[in-house]
Amino acid sequence: MRDTSEPNQEQNQEQNMRRVAMTSLAGTSIEWYDFFLYGTAAAVIFPKAFFPQDLPTMVLLIISFSTLAVGFLARPLGGIVFGHFGDRIGRKRTLVVALMMMGVATTLIGLLPTYSSIGIAAPLMLVALRFIQGFAIGGQWGGAMLLVTESAPADQRGWYGAYAQAGAPIGVILANLAFIGVSSSMSDEAFMDWGWRLPFIASIVLIGISMYIQLKIEDTEAFRSLSDAKTDSDTATQVVERSPVIMAIRKYPKRIMLAAGAFLSVQVTFYILIAFVIAYGMNSPSLELSRDTMLTAVLIAAAFMVPTQFYFSGLSDRIGRKSVYRWGAILTGVWGFALFPLIDTGSPILICVAITMGLLFLGMQYGPQAAYFTELFSTEVRYSGASLGYQIGAIVGGALAPTIAVLLWNNFGIFYVSVYILIAALMTLWSLSQLDETKGNSLS
């Protein structure tokens, strides 16, 4: 009689892997929806709702984008705290806490009174909730990314890692759809008065997703193996009982900083493409495009970014992480000089092309990044090391990218925003040149 236990076991493993991947995709999509919702609102809503209206438009944009940066300042702190507990008590539990924290903070933003109601207290509360958002996203990425990549077969780590990474462009799509859907269903006055709150309040669904993960998903095999080793070996016990964050910094200081550098091109360009270009299109005297035109262009571009990430993540499983990542950075740096001339045509089609190509080149970098960062660090400090590299890159690259872009545009001209994109790409290329190829590395 034929033994069918092995095929059944493989089938169960595949089903479990798909469930982990889809759950990670759902959780990160809503998490990034919450985070990017703020970026869109910072360009469209917050300058009018949370700050005094006797200031010039350009000043209001700079102040509003500066509050966006607060979330980035909190991200490394979130990465440190969640990284510590993720390496100590598991990937799953820390991810659940991060998702719930984000859901609560974003919902509360939708309930905040405006500047006209309570004055200076309104922007202060907005900044406090943005800090919590950043703290939560600082912990979410490492947990979601490791939940997938540590569970995936070694030869499909890049492909499955793309499920965690796809949450970012899907979050952009959801955020822009939410604003377009709400604004098109009511007058501009109603939208600016109370309609903008609905997309924020809708993020309460993230709390339900976090509960599903807690109840239905197991922690990764790599972490469970480390936990088993902790009980079987005095040496392993001593290692795990130290602070994983301190261990990661001591063991991989250069690798953490190079990982951060490798992320600069993605972060600088991404926030210019999804936040700054909206403000540029709406406020440039020669364009004055509608809010929905710019939001729709970003939405379409993000939709194309999703399959791009999966394709190039799968390609990195075959030819290596670095070569795919490197070409993405080169093309991103070059495309920065085509981006704004295409937007300046005022043609909705060419604007879509401009933003879409930029996000496609970013997808070549961001897609394989989950597997790449996973393979750079050993299991006992992987959550901490990967999170630190990611979040330091985020704060240096993304925190002030829209603000710096506004300042460059206002003081020197839009060409220098393209130069800014190129400089970030060159820094990423240098960082990659100092890192090893990791494809095929064991996670044990």
207-249 pLDDT, tens digit per residue, is 777 677 665 665 556 555 555 555 555 444 444 446 778 888 8
Angle between helices 291-319 and 167-184 (to 10 degrees): 160
Residue 2 lies in a domain: no
Residue 385 lies in a domain: yes
pLDDT of residue 413: 93
**7 phi, psi to nearest 5 deg:** -60, -40
Return the biggest CA–CA distance within the chain: 84
235 vs 404: CA distance, rounded Å = 48
pLDDT of residue 238: 46
pLDDT of residue 211: 72
Residue 81 lies in a domain: yes
Residue 444 lies in a domain: no
pTM of the model: 0.81
Total structural domains in the chain? 1
**349 phi, psi to nearest 5 deg:** -65, -45
Domain span at residue 129 reads: 19-433
- We report the CATH number of the domain holding residue 349 as 1.20.1250.20
pLDDT of residue 222: 53
Residue 260 lies in a domain: yes
pLDDT of residue 434: 95
**Mean pLDDT, contiguous 10-residue spans, the chain (444 residues):** 57 73 79 78 85 83 84 82 73 77 88 89 90 84 79 87 89 85 85 87 78 62 54 48 78 93 95 90 86 89 94 94 96 97 94 96 94 88 86 85 91 95 97 90 74
Residue 63 lies in a domain: yes
Residue 325 lies in a domain: yes
Residue 165 lies in a domain: yes
